[in-house]
Amino acid sequence: MTDPIIMIQDVHKFFNTSRGKFHALKGVSLQIMPGEVVTVIGPSGSGKSTLLRCINRLETIDRGSITVDGIPLSGAKNINKVRAEVGMVFQSFNLFPHKTALENLMLAQRVVRKRGRDEAVEKARGLLKKVGIHDKESSYPSQLSGGQQQRVAIARALAMDPKIMLFDEPTSALDPEMIKEVLDVMLELAKEGMTMVVVSHEMGFARAAADRIIIMDEGYIVEENVPDELFENPKSERTKAFLSKIIKH
Q: Which is nearer to ligand ADP, 137 or 168 (CB)?
A: 168
Residue 22: Cβ within 10 Å count = 11
Q: Which is nearer to Mg ion, 84 or 199 (CB)?
A: 199
Helix (H), strand (E), coil (C) string for 54-121 = HHCCCCCCCEEEEEECCEEHHHCCCHHHHHHHEEEECCCCCCCCCCCHHHHHHHHHHHCCCCCHHHHH
Q: Which is nearer to ligand ADP, 42 or 141 (CB)?
A: 42
- CB of residue 95 to another protein, shortest distance in Å: 8
Which listed range, 9-17, 45-53, 211-219, 239-247, lies at the site for Mg ion (CB under 5 A)?
A: 45-53
Q: Which does 22 bind (CB under 5 to 8 A by kind): ligand ADP, Mg ion, another protein, none?
A: ligand ADP
Q: Which does 17 bind (CB under 5 to 8 A by kind): Mg ion, another protein, ligand ADP, none?
A: ligand ADP
d(Cα 110, Cα 123) in Å, to the nearest integer?
A: 11
Which listed range, 32-40, 46-54, 174-182, 205-213, lies at the site for Mg ion (CB under 5 A)?
A: 46-54
- Paired sense of beta strands 37-41 and 195-199, if any: parallel
- CB of residue 18 to ligand ADP, shortest distance in Å: 9
Residue-wise DSSP of 185-196? HHHHHHHTT-EE
Tell whether residue 49 is a contact of Mg ion (CB under 5 A).
yes
- End-to-end CA separation in angstroms for the chain: 40
d(Cα 135, Cα 152) in Å, to the nearest integer?
A: 12
Q: Which long-range contacts (CB under 8 A, 24 or more apart) does 177-180 make?
A: 178/145, 178/146, 178/147, 178/150, 179/147
Residues lying near another protein in the complex (CB under 8 A) are found at: 56, 58, 80-81, 83-84, 86-88, 90, 92, 94-98, 107-108, 111-112, 140, 142-143, 153, 156-157, 160
Q: Which is nearer to another protein, 89 or 209 (CB)?
A: 89
Q: Which is nearer to Mg ion, 47 or 87 (CB)?
A: 47
* Interface residue list for Mg ion (CB under 5 A): 49
